[in-house]
Structure 1
Amino acid sequence: MNRNGAFSKAFNILFCAFMLAPIVVVLGVSFTPEGFLEFPPSGISLRWYEAILDNPDFIQAAWISLQLAFAAATVATLLAIPAALAIGQSRFRGRDALQAIFLSPLMVPTVVLGIAFLRFLSLFGLNGTFAGLTACHAIIITPFILRLVLAAVTGLDMSAARAAESLGAGRWTVFRRITLPAILPGVVGGWVLAFITSFDELTVTVFIVNPSTTTLPVRMFSHITQTTDPLVASVSSVTVIFSLALMILVDRLYGLDRLLIGEGKKA
């Protein structure tokens, strides 16, 4: 059995500490009773969590972000599933080009995407609309779903599907009863990852929102440009806990190892 050496363990501990340190600081600041950023906090108070409930702008923005993330993740999933099935199960001219097109949002700087989306939506009068935001977010997050669904599709045993077709089952029946259950862990994992990515997206969104469709990240960014109270820290803590809860739920249902690196959960 391979064992990590002392240097490797120390490096891993330091790396994890480096990644978690900003989250720990934000969580600590959110509990301060003072009206300014303070870490470590001089006391423990829920003052700034109660302030969230007294701020309708943040609540409205959070509701818009939830709706937008749900809609965008669902649209992206509906696009990614047939694309992944075609790319993963077929060999055709332009297959690599098709995959590159779907993954291209990962290779374009988000600022460039934001400016391009702003120009494109303005041509059709969709800038700042919920439909326009959904379309842009769906484009941004589709690669995340596609990668996980492709991982589930690759190497998928199609013998059961072919047997069902030979017995007279239609393509929709085969997909619904055989193919979809087999790739469901990848679909669910991709949807959750896309949902979290859309919910937290700022750089592109700030170009294409208007006051009636302001999302939570944009509202937080606008707030910190005007003041430096710990309210943003408490809102950030809630979003971190919410995202963590989603990941834990997926891990309990399917296992993150199975989704991300193709390993089943240990018994």
Structure 2
Amino acid sequence: MKITGKVRMLITVLVIVYILLPLLVIIPASFTRASFPSFPPQGFSFQWYVMLLDRPEFIEAFLNSTKFALLASLISVMLGTLAALALAKYDMPGKTYLVSLLTAPLTVPQLVLGVALLIYFTPMLLAGTSTGFLIAHIIICVPYVVRFVITGLSGFDYTLERAAMILGAKPITVFWKVTLPLIRPAILSGALFSFLTSFDNVTVSLFMVSPGMRTLPLEVFSQMQDAYSPLIASVSGIVIFISAALILVLEKIHGVGRMIGKSHS
């Protein structure tokens, strides 16, 4: 048993190292003094991070990514939460198929999804517009909210809602005072993953973006087609830091690790 436990621990460590290896390479490479990316880095310097302040295209792309990610996650939370509540509370024909339909973007390759959205949006004059771009991001974000909120409602005690109604509370009061506080961790987890999904997305964005609008991942993708410099590594380092910080904050407050564990159980 002890040997099996050690082997299991060794495999776990190797898998974690394998997953984190790209991050362990890109972050040190962003602090190099050299004019080309290298690992291990040649010297230590913040020069490439400082240079980002003189590159307005990256700053504008970062603001665009943040704006669209916030809007997409906000709308996705509203739509996904309402859909999850309806699916969890009410018996309806084809309920299983509705859940599969709402979470389908999680299983469909994003390349296929991007092509489909481009074909669908072009006759509607939404392709290459900010509105079409936002709708596309909402489509890929809603499944995370639906999945997390349904998971959060799996152990929900509906007698609490009925007790509040018996005591005279109105439906909106019951939702605001009873339901929402209990599923808030699930909603926040869905909002977090929606934000990160929108902020980091490249594949679907490539089909939806207009020539005059760039997001940070697309700007990095475009810059790498010409040359790969430590400046790109520094942008990647910032994205990694933002993603890790958001996950750590949510883990500290609500325990996103437990929420993910529930969703896979």
Give the TM-score category using the shorter length.
over 0.9
Deviations 1:187-226 (A, max 9, x none): 0011001101110000010111013321111110000001
Distance in 2 separating the partners of 1:163 and 1:3: 53
- The CA deviation at 1:69 is 0.5
Query: In percent, how many aligned pairs have the same letter?
Result: 36
1:242-261 matched pairs, under 5 angstroms? 242-261=242-261
Does structure 2 conserve the Cα–Cα contact (< 8 Å) formed by 1:89 and 1:154? no
Does structure 1 conserve the Cα–Cα contact (< 8 Å) formed by 2:128 and 2:208? yes
Instruction: Kindly provide the amino acid, as one letter, of the partner of residue 254 in structure 2.
Output: Y
> TM-score with structure 1 length normalisation?
0.94
Distance in 1 separating the partners of 2:246 and 2:90: 33
- Look up the match of 1:66: 66
Does structure 2 conserve the Cα–Cα contact (< 8 Å) formed by 1:80 and 1:142? yes
Distance in 2 separating the partners of 1:257 and 1:231: 33
Distance in 2 separating the partners of 1:257 and 1:124: 41
Query: Is it true that 1:52 corresponds to 2:40 in the alignment?
Result: no
Does structure 2 conserve the Cα–Cα contact (< 8 Å) formed by 1:81 and 1:146? yes
Query: Is it true that 1:145 corresponds to 2:145 in the alignment?
Result: yes
Does structure 2 conserve the Cα–Cα contact (< 8 Å) formed by 1:29 and 1:39? yes
Distance in 1 separating the partners of 2:13 and 2:238: 26
- The CA deviation at 1:2 is 9.2
> TM-score with structure 2 length normalisation?
0.95
Instruction: Kindly provide the amino acid, as one letter, of the partner of residue 219 in structure 1.
Output: E
Instruction: Kindly provide the amino acid, as one letter, of the partner of residue 224 in structure 1.
Output: M
- The CA deviation at 1:169 is 2.1
Distance in 1 separating the partners of 2:186 and 2:3: 30
Equivalenced residue count is: 263
Instruction: Kindly provide the amino acid, as one letter, of the partner of residue 154 in structure 2.
Output: T
Distance in 2 separating the partners of 1:34 and 1:25: 15
Does structure 1 conserve the Cα–Cα contact (< 8 Å) formed by 2:136 and 2:208? no
- The CA deviation at 1:262 is 4.1
Q: What secondary structure is seen at the aligned counterpart in 2 of 1:238?
A: helix
Query: Is it true that 1:204 corresponds to 2:193 in the alignment?
Result: no
- Look up the match of 1:131: 131
- Look up the match of 2:28: 28
Task: Note the residue ranges of structure 1 that are not aligned, 5 or more in a row.
Answer: none
Deviations 1:130-157 (A, max 9, x none): 2211111111111111111111111200
- The CA deviation at 1:35 is 1.1
1:154-233 matched pairs, under 5 angstroms? 154-233=154-233
